[in-house]
Amino acid sequence: MEATVLCKSECILGEGPLWLPGTQKLMWVDIERSRLYEHDWRQRTARHWQLDKRVTLVLPLQQSGQLLIGMQGGAAIFDPANGQYQWLADIEKEMPTHRCNDGAFDAQGRLWAGSMCTSLQPGQGSLYMLGKDLSLHKKISRLAIPNGIVWSRDNTRMYFIDSNQRCVQCYRFDAETGDITFEKVAVDIPPLMGSPDGMTMDEEGMLWIAHYGGYGVYRWNPLTGELLEKVSLPVPNVTSCVFGGPDLDVLFITTARQELGEDALRQYPDSGNVFYVQTKVKGLPTNAGAFGAPGGAAVQALLRTGV
């Protein structure tokens, strides 16, 4: 399969694609330009918001119309209607050389988000869980570039990527408590295929992983470690992917221009653009977060006071 350009956003570091089924819109971020993008699938139009600090991920909230965004220093609730955000929680805010990276909500609506050093120093990253009561729990330490995170359909396993380790790690997952226990390496990525970055899961439980430096998205079986197929892209640095479209059978893919010199950009001019491809298998809906939902007293207090 080969992907086609959807939007010529020319992101320095495009990341975090999110499909919103209610509005038929695709969201993503350009981390290094501090931009949040929106593409209307039906109208084929795009726009973006310029924020005041790096924005690293965008996720849906149960409260309609609002989004959670990961930023340098923590997480915030973003309102597309006015382009404003309200701070939600600090995540290594006291460390100016650190920022959030990839993340996801589990089925209970808790946020899982990685942190990393902007200079990519190994061992400086962590994976956190932000509880619905806004309590922050460090789950894994001594990471380099925490990236893709998804859960098995039966919610008993968590799959997680630290890009420098070139593998997908499988953890036993307790859905009630959020406790995790390392079980095994589910997928090993050969160096010639680049480094694993963001990922998503299809309805058959297979992992679709963006390979940074690998010119594509690869579909892997996490139960056997077997490579099943590849979506080829005409750019090297592929960063993340998500299923969307009216039937959840379109794979949207973000890419990056960073680390490419002038000669490489002439060779790969579509670097940083967003791509899409029709797939034979459907994906799964993205979990929504409990923050900002009606009755969320802690969050509502933050919104009222404008903290």
Q: Residue count of the chain, please give it.
A: 307
pLDDT bracket for residue 274 (50, 70, 90): very high
**pLDDT band at residue 300 under the 50/70/90 scheme:** very low
Q: Would you put residue 109 in left (φ > 0), alpha (ψ -120 to 50) or beta?
A: left
Asked whether residue 295 carries a pLDDT value surpassing 50, the answer given is no
Question: Which tokens is 220 given?
Answer: 């892997």
- Cα separation, 291 vs 220, in Å, equals 32
Predicted confidence (pLDDT) at residue 143 exceeds the cutoff of 60 = yes
Evaluated on CA atoms 265, 252, 67, 290, the torsion sign reads negative
In the predicted structure, residue 299 carries a pLDDT above the cut 60 = no
pLDDT band at 297 (very low <50, low <70, confident <90, very high): very low
Residue 263 annotated to the active site: no
pTM of the predicted model, to two decimals?
0.94
Report the pLDDT value the prediction gives residue 292, as an integer from 0 to 100: 61
Domain 4-305 in CATH: superfamily? Answer: TolB, C-terminal domain (2.120.10.30)
Q: Which residue, chain included where needed, has tokens 């797939």?
A: 279
Beta sheet of 167-173, edge-to-edge order: 146-151, 157-162, 167-173, 180-188
Mean pLDDT of 254-266: 96
User: Among 197, 247, 249, 263, which one carries the catalytic annotation?
Assistant: 197
The DSSP bridge pattern shows strands 55-60 and 67-71 to be antiparallel
Average confidence score pLDDT of the chain:
93
Is pLDDT at 304 greater than 70 in this prediction? no
Domain boundaries, the chain: 4-305
| Cβ contact 161:194 at 8 Å | no
H-type helices in 42-82, by residue range? Answer: none
